[in-house]
Structure 1
Amino acid sequence: MAIATGTGLRNDLYPSRGGTEVMTPRRDPVVWSAPGAPGPLLPAELASYERDGFIPVEDQITDDEVALYRTEMERLIADPAIRADERAIVEPKSEKVRSIFEVHKLSSVFDALVRDERVVGRARQILGSDVYVHQSRINVKPGFGASGFYWHSDFETWHAEDGMPHMRAVSVSIALTENRDTNGGLMIMPGSHRTFLGCAGETPADNYKRSLRMQVAGTPSDAALTGLADEHGIRLFTGRAGSATWFDCNCMHGSGDNITPYARSNVFIVFNSVENAAEEPFAAPVRRPEFIGARDFTPVRPG
């Protein structure tokens, strides 16, 4: 579908936010690198990622590094200046910090994690190019009532509201606390990355202010989610602190509320190919702020 821009028409491969839901087969590769390309991932891991849309990594970082990043996370959460910043998102009821965005710019400690070859090397290998950070954040998800993240495809939002043209981005969620089967862990529908679900309904102005607390625009219907779950099933990810889940930008995923006493804290990094830089939004009136959808496309270099 072609849409009008200030400079003419451009092709929209993944229409969304229209009058009805639209299912579009994926038009992009899943693994972009050539077979045998160097990197930390083994061929079998890349094949699993291509098939399912995700791969778990048991030992992404060491126990000592977990302690380092948890200490830095607690420092950021406790900083009144950061809490007052727009990049900090708080729980509506408890008013506890839920997420802090752009942590690689707020913290030299997390900037070093982004540049770690064990991390950025996997992103380059999957995406077949240099990469930049489209988004980074810590998700604290404190115990006793932290709300979940409803089912969604990240790419649907990044395409509609940030102008990401192709499915050439990958996310990594690195556990800083144990991810249990009871404390609101990540759920993914394996294989759902091969179909784009274009959602119904227009994007409100300043939608990000609401969606960071509760997703409304870009939310699939119950019928569509039921169909995807029936076809693909649902995988719940658990693991010790230091483990990670890498997943494709178009995976249908979500997480439940955390009513246990145990926080589920993760650092979340989105790498996008420098050859897939964000343009103008495909289905929103204005761009989201840069702390949510970056406009600095400088490649990540090892620290």
Structure 2
Amino acid sequence: MTLQMDLPASTSDDYPTRKNTEPALLYRKDPTVWGSGEGPFSSEEIEGYARRGYTQVASLVSDEEVKTYYAELERLGSDPALRGDERVIIEPSSEEVRSVFEVHKLSDVFAELVNDPRLVERARQILGSDVYVHQSRVNYKPGFGGGSFYWHSDFETWHAEDGMPRMRACSFSIALTDNYTHNGALMIMPGSHETFVSCTGETPENYYRSSLKSQNVGTPDEASLTYLADQHGIDVLTGSAGDVTVFDSNCMHGSGGNITPYPRSNVFIVFNSVENACAKPFSAPAPRPEFLSARDFTPVGR
């Protein structure tokens, strides 16, 4: 049985964005770790996550599993039946597949992964409740042309366009290829999760259709990015295939393009607390489609 409901009205807005003509830096009003601390993460890992906004787990996924997931990633990216599907995002400059969304509904392999206790129990430990999948996707960053992802806070979009009330979600990035400093590895400003960048601009109708390829509205301004980088620095998250990076919904992060011969691909799963289910958007005319912002709040891993 799945749990779906009509969207309630948004609660009071502690993180206003896309409403003013000037950007602003706002203090975070939510904890980073909502749980008691008990779970598969060690106390050191949880403390590091709370301080930096992210943690990495080496070799959480086996080599055989990586092969299985990578084969499934390639199958989805090359499936001609999916080429016209709205869930498949194409690089505007190369016609290469950039991302495939809602992969846990397109693939039995990834449906099993989003229910994997190695992921779900860690998400529960951080978020302090049962969790559901807010979004899933596979990201392709092939050699010789994989595009960049500009600096952003996921929560800014999820709050503005999806109606996510609180910073009570976390993302799991499962590396399916080795991540080097030179092939478009994830970059995070450690500690930036404590500051919310309120962005300028008004969200156009059906903005997701263009923003998934190149985002303009909801993009942090250069002065705010410079301040956060000066305050916190930038970590480049390298690692091996099978490593998992877990990061807070409000971390300022991005990645450069990939002009090396070495691809950088990953599976990306967003877990949100069932107590933080999305309501009506705070700064958009209508919610994004369900493949970007799930409206099925059924707990996973149960």
User: Under a length normalisation based on structure 1, what TM-score does the superposition of the two structures give?
Assistant: 0.95
What CA deviation, in whole Å up to 9, does each residue of 1:77-128 have, x standing for no partner? 1111112211000111211111000000100101111111101111011000
- Paired position in structure 1 for 2:3: none
Task: Determine the C-alpha separation between the residues in 1 that align with 2:86 and 2:143.
Answer: 23
Q: CA 1:8–1:143 in 2, change beyond 3 Å: closer, same or farther?
A: closer
Q: What residue identity is the alignment partner of 1:34?
A: S
SS of equivalent residue, structure 1 residue 10: coil
Contact kept? 1:31, 1:128, Cα under 8 Å: yes
Unaligned runs of 5+ in 2: 1-6
Deviation at 1:8, TM superposition (A): 7.5
List aligned pairs for 1:1-303, cutoff 5 A.
10-18=11-19, 19-35=21-37, 37=38, 39-302=39-302
SS of equivalent residue, structure 1 residue 271: strand
Contact kept? 1:59, 1:243, Cα under 8 Å: yes
Unaligned runs of 5+ in 1: 1-5
Deviation at 1:220, TM superposition (A): 0.8
Task: Determine the C-alpha separation between the residues in 2 that align with 1:90 and 1:288.
Answer: 18
Deviation at 1:205, TM superposition (A): 1.2
Q: What residue identity is the alignment partner of 2:72?
A: E
Contact kept? 1:15, 1:22, Cα under 8 Å: no
Deviation at 1:206, TM superposition (A): 1.1
Contact kept? 2:10, 2:280, Cα under 8 Å: no
Q: CA 1:182–1:8 in 2, change beyond 3 Å: closer, same or farther?
A: closer
- The ranges of structure 1 where at least 4 consecutive aligned residues each deviate by more than 3 angstroms after the TM superposition are 6-10
User: Under a length normalisation based on structure 2, what TM-score does the superposition of the two structures give?
Assistant: 0.95
SS of equivalent residue, structure 1 residue 65: helix
Task: Determine the C-alpha separation between the residues in 2 that align with 1:159 and 1:206.
Answer: 16
Task: Determine the C-alpha separation between the residues in 1 that align with 2:234 and 2:78.
Answer: 35
Task: Determine the C-alpha separation between the residues in 2 that align with 1:9 and 1:127.
Answer: 21
Deviation at 1:151, TM superposition (A): 0.3
SS of equivalent residue, structure 2 residue 11: strand
Contact kept? 2:8, 2:280, Cα under 8 Å: no
Deviation at 1:10, TM superposition (A): 3.3
Deviation at 1:9, TM superposition (A): 7.7
Alignment root-mean-square deviation, CA: 1.3
Deviation at 1:178, TM superposition (A): 0.7
- Paired position in structure 1 for 2:4: none
What CA deviation, in whole Å up to 9, does each residue of 1:237-280 have, x standing for no partner? 11110001100000000000111111110000000000000000
Task: Determine the C-alpha separation between the residues in 1 that align with 2:244 and 2:57.
Answer: 5
What CA deviation, in whole Å up to 9, does each residue of 1:164-213 have, x standing for no partner? 00000000111001111111110000000001111011111111111111
Q: What residue identity is the alignment partner of 2:96?
A: K
- Paired residues in the alignment total 295
